[in-house]
Structure formats: C-alpha cells, structure tokens
C-alpha cells in the first residue's frame, strides 16, 4: 500500500510540475519579447557662422644696433595698427603683443663678437593682436595683407590667418538634441516594423558629443575649422528602446 501511495503521489507531483512548467514557458515567451531591445543612432546637423575672430599679425626686425632695431619695430607697430583701423576696426579691439628680443651672438666671446661686428645680430619680434566680433570685416582685411607688406612690415607666422570661433553652442544644444532624438526614434520605429514588433519606451540614451567642423573644407589633409567662418555643428545621440 505504501508503494502504491508513493507512486500516486509522484504522478500527481509530476503532473503539477508539467503544468507549472507550461505556465512559466508561456509567460517566459512574453517576458522575452517584452525585454527585447534595439539600439539606434540619430544625428542632427546645423550650419552656423563664427561670432568671434582673433587675428595675430606678427613681424620682426633684425640689425646690429639694438636702438635702431627698436625704432624700426615701433614703426611697424604703428603701421600695423593704422592698417587695421583704416580697415574699420576700433583701437579698443587692438592689443600689442609682447616683445621678444634675441641676441644671435649671446655666449660668444668678445673676439668672436668683434668678427661679427656690423652684422644682423639683434632680432626683435612682436606684433598686434585683433579681437573682434566683426568676422566678415576680418575676412575682408586679411585679404589685403599685401598692403602692409608693401609698407616694409616683415610679417611672419601669418600663414594660418585669423582664427574664427563659434561661442553660441549652448543656444542651439536643446534644439539639436531634440532633432537627433526624433531621428533616432524614426530609425527605431522602422527597425521595429521590419522585426514585426512595436517600439516601446526608452531604456537608455546617450546624448553624444557635439563636434564643430568647417562647413566647406579646404582640403582633406588638415583640420581647418579654426580658419573657417562658416561651420557645421553635429551631434549623434545613441538611444536604446524596448521592443514590444
């Protein structure tokens, strides 16, 4: 009797277990679908115009007599400042750069210096820096540098030209993030449709980093964003959605 009773009990437990397993399997399929996710990216771009320009015009003078070289460099400063004001800039937008003086024969003995007498021994470097919000005027003036050179100013280190920057990123951030999120949502909806599912709520989101590049690159080998007035701001948001 005890053996029959145990066998009956075992069959009952087994049947209950099978039914319970079926319940979990059924609900497990539902939960698996509910926790499926898709990760998509959405980009937003906006063309902007630089709002600040910084232009450092540097020049030098060389000679044997320090006092004479200093007079020449002072004249170059005056010519450069006049060149800028004649092109429409204000004196308050100009600032003289620090003066660097170099003796090419520093460390030479007196005898060695005697041999080099009356040669270009002293080098003075300085310049004028312009900071303004009138970026278009800077662009126009920078194309007239030949006028300054014809006045005898030895311009150096000007190959990069003015530096243009955009400082209004905070004013467009929210709008761009909204657009990026909208584009990511559209991509997620398309994916869900292709997967015969429905796009659910957002599980996680990564705003991404804003980047600023030149709108019209001059070449493919250099990053000329700082030399470009017209720029392109871009952000890519990464969003993970639940699928239903």
pLDDT (tens place) for every residue of the chain, 244 residues total: 444 455 454 444 444 444 444 443 343 333 334 478 999 999 999 999 999 999 999 999 998 888 999 999 999 999 999 999 999 999 999 999 999 998 876 655 665 555 566 677 889 999 999 999 999 999 999 999 999 999 999 998 655 689 999 999 999 999 999 999 999 999 999 999 999 999 999 999 998 899 999 988 765 555 688 989 999 999 999 999 999 8
Under a CB-based contact definition with an 8 Å cutoff, are residues 207 and 44 in contact?
Answer: no
Under a CB-based contact definition with an 8 Å cutoff, are residues 122 and 66 in contact?
Answer: yes
Measured between alpha carbons, how far is 207 from 239 in angstroms, rounded to an integer? Answer: 8
Measured between alpha carbons, how far is 237 from 176 in angstroms, rounded to an integer? Answer: 10
What's the pLDDT at 207? 85
Residue found by looking up tokens 């194309």 in the block: 143
Measured between alpha carbons, how far is 82 from 148 in angstroms, rounded to an integer? Answer: 10
Taking the alpha carbons of 209, 210, 212, 216 in that order, is the dihedral positive or negative? positive
Write out the two tokens for 186. Answer: 């559209």
- In sequence order, what E strands does 16-121 have? 37-49, 52-63, 94-96, 100-103
Measured between alpha carbons, how far is 88 from 143 in angstroms, rounded to an integer? Answer: 14
CA 71 to the chain's CA centroid = 42
CA 121 to the chain's CA centroid = 42
Residues whose CB is less than 8 angstroms from the CB of residue 222 and which lie 6 or more positions away in sequence, other chains included: none
Write out the two tokens for 61. Answer: 């003078």
Write out the two tokens for 41. Answer: 């990216």
Model's pTM, two decimal places?
0.74
What's the pLDDT at 222? 55
Measured between alpha carbons, how far is 241 from 160 in angstroms, rounded to an integer? Answer: 46
What's the pLDDT at 162? 92
What's the pLDDT at 160? 67
Cα dihedral value 60, 134, 52, 79, nearest 10: 10
CA–CA distance from 41 to each of 182, 187, 244 (Å)? 10, 8, 19
What's the pLDDT at 114? 58
């Amino acid at each position: 009797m005890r053996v029959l009773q145990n066998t009956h009990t075992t069959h009952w437990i087994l049947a209950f277990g099978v039914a319970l397993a079926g319940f979990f399997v059924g609900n497990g399929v539902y939960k698996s679908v509910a926790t499926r996710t898709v990760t998509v990216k959405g980009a937003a771009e906006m063309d902007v115009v630089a709002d600040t320009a910084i232009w450092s015009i540097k020049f030098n003078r060389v000679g044997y007599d320090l006092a004479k070289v200093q007079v020449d460099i002072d004249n170059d400063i005056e010519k450069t400042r006049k060149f800028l004001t004649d092109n429409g800039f204000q004196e308050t937008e100009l600032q003289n750069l620090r003066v660097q003086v170099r003796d090419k024969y520093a460390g030479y003995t007196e005898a060695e210096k005697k041999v080099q007498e009356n040669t270009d021994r002293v080098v003075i470097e300085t310049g004028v820096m312009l900071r303004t919000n009138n970026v278009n005027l800077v662009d126009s003036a920078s194309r007239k540098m030949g006028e300054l050179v014809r006045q005898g100013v030895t311009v150096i280190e000007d190959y990069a030209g003015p530096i243009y920057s955009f400082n209004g990123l905070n004013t467009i951030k929210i709008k761009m993030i909204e657009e990026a999120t909208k584009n990511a949502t559209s991509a997620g909806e398309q994916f869900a449709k292709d997967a015969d599912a429905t796009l659910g709520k957002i599980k996680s989101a990564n705003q991404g980093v804003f980047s600023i590049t030149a709108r019209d690159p001059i070449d493919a080998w250099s990053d000329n964003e700082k030399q470009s007035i017209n720029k392109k701001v871009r952000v890519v948001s990464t969003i993970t959605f639940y699928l239903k």
